[in-house]
Chain A
Amino acid sequence: MKFKDILGLSLGNLKRRKWRTVLTVTGVFIGTISVVIMLSLGYGLKQSMTEQINSFGSMNDIMVYYDGSDSSMQITDDKLSEWEELPFVSSLYPELVIPVDMEQGKWALSVIIIGLPEDILSEIPIGEGRMPSVANGELELIMGNQMICDVYNKNTYEYPYWDNNQLADFDFLNDTVYSKFTKESSVKVDDNGNLVNTARKKIIPIVAMVEGGVEEYSKYSYAAYAELDILKNYIKKVYKGEAIPGQPTDRNGNPLNYWVYLMATVRVSDKDMVEDAVAYFREMGYRVDNSQEWLEETESMLNIVQLVLGGIGAVALLVAAIGITNTITMSIYERRKEIGIMKVLGCDISDIGGMFISEAAFIGFLGGVVGVILSYLLSFILNVVAGPMASIALEMSDATLSVIPFWLPFVAIAFATMIGMLAGYFPARKATRMSPLLAIRNE
């Protein structure tokens, strides 16, 4: 028998029992929607997480931290030159971290100035303002776009942002900002017994803001940035032989004659070597952070989440499969006489089985197609309606809730069709085993 004819007979049959077909297809498309949407939520979560992790830094960068305990492990310029020679290192740079207090009128805030080499500094995306000029050796800062949130009223100790969700009227770029460094010699106890910093106020120009609004977090959001060598010179001058905060001292409490960094970023030349590089520094006893590692961990966790979500959808599809089996069984029962006639007239047994399996497969296929179409609709609605809420809940800027990968609709339709075939298989086998004598007996 021709495949076309088998299909024709099955389709005719589905058409004749329209209502029942529609109901069974409904079961399948609900199942398909469940699977697709559940998976798409998983993919959405994955994509949002990946984007977020990427915003923390390049996958090829590994962060090596010095925890201050073992002085032989101090990250110094000498050590950095050594590391630079390692085969997997393409470049590396230290981060010099200097705390400073800033003031303007009644407003104050504590800032961490991070010193970076010029080429790394230039990677910072700038919003308003201009890049600090390095040529004249003047210290200039790029201010993190979320630093405004840390501004407090130095009289009342109120934080406009955190307490009242308002922004302080503090314009880093245009107001005159006074900076005070904390020195041992400058910290005094006042009449009321409070510690006060009597250091001279300095004006360090802030020439740029990091790109992004107050709500847009990136790894540059919460610090001020300056060129490393200029910062070093400046700080040396400010402290003039006094201990620098964050820098270790010798046994007598005097500053060292070299810089110690708490962190260095090592850029690995090849993505595949990141794992080895991480292992190398860990072996030496450093704490190491890497986005890729984090991403992998997050991914494996999200895979489980997705599996669970997909499983929930699969249960719905299983119920639909039972519906298909039921429908085909009914269809066979109704047509048992017809099946008998066909056998007497010489219809191949496998063709009879094929007729019912293709009937079931078509129900699955139709349910799959309708399910996929409705899934796209639902996914769209979810992203528009629930997306913004999810962004807030997950503390992400712009989280996409539901993402349907391009291959998912095809796989979903194929899967639904296959489920249909499987659900139709057992009743179809029963049909092929029915005695043709049913057709002959006269009732």
Chain B
Amino acid sequence: MEKQLEKKVVIDVEDLYKIYRVGEEKVRALDGVSFKVFEGEFVAIVGTSGSGKSTLLNMMAGLEPPTKGHISISGKNIEKLKENQLVSLRRKRVGFIFQSFNLIGSMNAEENVALPLMFRGVSKETRIKKAREMLEVVGLSKHRKHIPTQMSGGQQQRVGIARALVVNPSIIFADEPTGNLDSVTTSEILDLLRELVNEQGKTLVMVTHDKELADVADKVIHIKDGKITKIEIKKENIENEKIEEV
């Protein structure tokens, strides 16, 4: 408990709504969501398909504006920011891991990992050097010259993780990072993510529809029909366990 109090709030979501209009119908993808994510926390957002997990994650990453409510990242409100300000925020603070990896098909592993550094204007030698370091962290040093089609799904996702990490972001978002992987690879990737949080002190928000996968997290946010039904704090991952009923 004491340890949590010391920690800084990195993401603060307050009364968030997202309403899609599909023809005449209104879809409440998010229906009044509030929670906090602390520094160095591994948070899993769990819910069935269509429950609004991706919508929530995308809004936290500034990819989509909320209909109503507030999101602040490191104390800064982002819901009113312009697109180029959001892009700049992501470039400086945020790493993103995709379900379908989303590597650039024409680039090899090393170039893919170096890409976010290129966007930052880092020189070629420096960014390739850093990309190699990251590939070593995710255990892919041997594959740095491979293009995506020459790698397995698990390897591609490792490249995706290295790419998210290379800019040394304070927050990493991952939307179903193991959704396209088999069970063995899935646990490998989850172990890797857990390791990153433990060893590098990153804040990680991961979306998954699989409750079991969420066990790896420190905090699990259960979501259903756009509403949070339960927030669990896992005991085995941090000292104190507590279940908040919402």
Interface residues of A, Cβ cutoff 8 Å to B: 1-2, 5, 12, 16, 337-338, 341-351, 435-437, 439-440, 442
Q: Give the contact stretch, choosing among B32-40, B115-123, B234-242.
A: B115-123
CA distance A344 to B175 in the complex (A): 13
Say yes or no: A439-B102 contact (C-beta < 8 A), given A343-B87, A345-B116: yes
How many Å from the CB of A334 to the closest CB on chain B? 11
A-B contact pairs, 14 of them (CB 8 A): A1-B118, A1-B119, A2-B123, A12-B106, A345-B96, A345-B119, A346-B87, A346-B88, A346-B116, A346-B119, A348-B87, A437-B63, A440-B63, A442-B100
How many Å from the CB of A114 to the closest CB on chain B? 79
Q: Are B63 and A342 in contact (CB under 8 A)?
A: no
B91 at the interface (CB under 8 A from A): yes
Which residues of chain A are within 8 angstroms of B179 by Cβ–Cβ distance?
Answer: 442
Known: A346-B119, A349-B84; 10 extra A-B contacts, CB below 8 A, are A2-B118, A337-B102, A344-B96, A345-B91, A345-B163, A346-B91, A348-B119, A436-B63, A437-B63, A440-B175
Which residues of chain A are within 8 angstroms of B96 by Cβ–Cβ distance?
Answer: 344-345
Q: Are A442 and B99 in contact (CB under 8 A)?
A: yes
Chain A residue with Cβ nearest B102: A341
CA distance A406 to B140 in the complex (A): 56
How many Å from the CB of B147 to the closest CB on chain A? 12
Chain B residue with Cβ nearest A348: B87
Which residues of chain A are within 8 angstroms of B121 by Cβ–Cβ distance?
Answer: 1-2, 5
Q: Are B61 and A348 in contact (CB under 8 A)?
A: no
Q: Are A348 and B175 in contact (CB under 8 A)?
A: no
B83 at the interface (CB under 8 A from A): yes
Say yes or no: A345-B115 contact (C-beta < 8 A), given A437-B58, A440-B54, A440-B63: yes
Q: Are A344 and B119 in contact (CB under 8 A)?
A: no
How many Å from the CB of A13 to the closest CB on chain B? 8
CA distance A343 to B175 in the complex (A): 16
Size of the chain B interface, CB-CB below 8 angstroms: 32
Which residues of chain A are within 8 angstroms of B167 by Cβ–Cβ distance?
Answer: 346
Q: Are B119 and A347 in contact (CB under 8 A)?
A: yes
B92 at the interface (CB under 8 A from A): yes
Q: Are A349 and B63 in contact (CB under 8 A)?
A: no
CB contacts between A and B, total, < 8 Å: 70
Interface residues of B, Cβ cutoff 8 Å to A: 54, 58, 61, 63-64, 83-84, 87-88, 90-92, 94, 96, 98-100, 102, 104, 106, 115-116, 118-121, 123-124, 163, 167, 175, 179
CA distance A341 to B99 in the complex (A): 12
Say yes or no: A437-B64 contact (C-beta < 8 A), given A346-B167, A347-B87, A442-B99: yes
Which residues of chain A are within 8 angstroms of B102 by Cβ–Cβ distance?
Answer: 337, 341, 439
CA distance A442 to B102 in the complex (A): 10
Output the residue of A1, A5, A342, A346 with the most chain B CB within 10 A: A346
Output the residue of A351, A436, A439 with the most chain B CB within 10 A: A436
Which residues of chain A are within 8 angstroms of B94 by Cβ–Cβ distance?
Answer: 346
Chain A residue with Cβ nearest B100: A442
CA distance A377 to B124 in the complex (A): 41
CA distance A346 to B122 in the complex (A): 13
How many Å from the CB of A241 to the closest CB on chain B? 101
Q: Are B88 and A348 in contact (CB under 8 A)?
A: yes
From B63, B64, B91, B98, contact of A348 by CB (8 A): B91
How many Å from the CB of B205 to the closest CB on chain A? 14
Output the residue of A337, A349, A442 with the most chain B CB within 10 A: A442
CA distance A57 to B121 in the complex (A): 65
Which residues of chain A are within 8 angstroms of B116 by Cβ–Cβ distance?
Answer: 345-346
Q: Are B63 and A351 in contact (CB under 8 A)?
A: no
Output the residue of A344, A348, A351 with the most chain B CB within 10 A: A344
Q: Are B87 and A349 in contact (CB under 8 A)?
A: yes
CA distance A16 to B104 in the complex (A): 13
Chain B residue with Cβ nearest A432: B83
How many Å from the CB of B4 to the closest CB on chain A? 30
How many Å from the CB of A351 to the closest CB on chain B? 7
CA distance A337 to B101 in the complex (A): 12
CA distance A16 to B147 in the complex (A): 15
CA distance A212 to B144 in the complex (A): 78
Output the residue of B58, B94, B104, B119 with the most chain A CB within 10 A: B119
CA distance A337 to B148 in the complex (A): 15
